[in-house]
Amino acid sequence: MQTGINRQSFLAAVKAKARRPFSLIAFLAVWLAMLITIVVLLFIIVTICIKGIPYLKPSLFSFTYNSNNVSAFPSIISTIYMVLLTLAIAGPLGVFTAIYLVEYATRGNKLVKLIRLTAETLSGIPSIVYGLFGMILFVTEMKMGYSLLAGSLTLAIMILPLLIRSTEEAIKSVPDIYREGSYGLGAGKLRTVFKIVLPSAIPGILAGVILSIGRIIGETAALLYTAGSIAQIPQNLFSSTRTLAIHMYVLSKEGLHNNEAYATAVILLVTVLLINFGASSIAKRLNRNSNGGNV
């Protein structure tokens, strides 16, 4: 039933735009782009699953890694640690910077222009440059060595522009009537921001967090120079470690465990889906709680 309605809606839209050729071309181009995107995504997922699922063996989830089992379990734990630590560092910085830019900075402020220029510049730097910078500053000069902390600090700098921009746009999307209503009830600026504006902007902020998580999990170049590639569960912040993406890269580079590399890709895909699902669930709960709260 739903498919028939969607088909009828699509045909009706095509007929409506047929009188204007340029609109029809643009409409069909959008649909074509959407279909290509879906097909490419499905092709990637199906290919990874076909080549990787048959090699998901219990030995791949052994607590310790060795050259025989090439276990991905230490890399799974390391990836989770890397995501949590990086977000703990970059999250508050990104959110508070966006709050300042939208709610407190005056129009035409030179500091605002400098922050936005810096964020745009950082977002265009290749990840390997971040890796070299992190190796020079955190690994060598600050003597952290190849460690979980050095990798997290480097990734925090990488995702900071993304968090700032997504949070800034999310805060801007909150209607001004919310702020005016809060001020009318006697709430101050700070209370309005944290009780009204931020809870209303959670869906947009979460979108930036999910994109950041994807970049953290998929990063290899920067972490090779800062976190190292030792397949072990980190004992502390200064332990060298290996994330799933690096684990898959090392296995494929060696050429001896290509099947296990595809199996690791399946684990990586499932890990991303689980983390994103968890982040979405937390955001929905927070949004529900904020809607029922008082100023």
pLDDT tens-digit profile of 32-52? 999 999 999 899 889 888 988
In this prediction, what percent of the chain has a pLDDT beyond 70?
88
Q: Using CA atoms, how far apart are residues 101 and 95, in angstroms rounded to an integer?
A: 10
The yes-or-no verdict on residue 289 having pLDDT over 80 is no
- pLDDT for res 138: 93
**Number of residues in the chain:** 295
Give start and end residues of each alpha helix (H) in the chain.
Answer: 2-17, 21-52, 73-99, 110-123, 127-134, 148-172, 176-184, 189-192, 198-200, 202-218, 221-226, 244-254, 258-291
- Would you say 204 and 230 are in contact if contact means Cβ atoms under 8 Å apart? no
In this prediction, what percent of the chain has a pLDDT beyond 90?
25
- pLDDT for res 251: 86
- pLDDT for res 1: 46
Give mean pLDDT, residues 55-64. 86
Nearest to 119 by CA among 156, 162, 82: 162
66-91 tens-digit pLDDT: 878 888 889 989 999 999 999 999 99
Q: For residue 56, name the pLDDT band (cuts at 50, 70, 90).
A: confident
Which residues, other chains included, contact 161 with Cβ-Cβ below 8 Å and sequence gap of 6+? 119, 120, 122, 123
- Would you say 209 and 279 are in contact if contact means Cβ atoms under 8 Å apart? yes
- Would you say 145 and 178 are in contact if contact means Cβ atoms under 8 Å apart? no
Give mean pLDDT, residues 146-151. 93
Query: What single DSSP character describes residue 68?
Result: T
Phi-psi region of 241 (alpha: psi -120 to 50; beta: other; left: phi over 0): beta
pTM: 0.81
Q: For residue 29, name the pLDDT band (cuts at 50, 70, 90).
A: confident
> What does the angle CA 249 – CA 256 – CA 130 come to, to the nearest 5 degrees?
15
**Domains of the chain with bracketed CATH:** 2-55 (no CATH), 63-291 (1.10.3720.10)
- pLDDT for res 20: 65
The yes-or-no verdict on residue 18 having pLDDT over 60 is no
Q: Using CA atoms, how far apart are residues 48 and 260, in angstroms rounded to an integer?
A: 11
- Would you say 170 and 205 are in contact if contact means Cβ atoms under 8 Å apart? yes
- pLDDT for res 6: 60
- pLDDT for res 11: 60
Question: Between residues 19 and 48, which one has the greater pLDDT?
Answer: 48
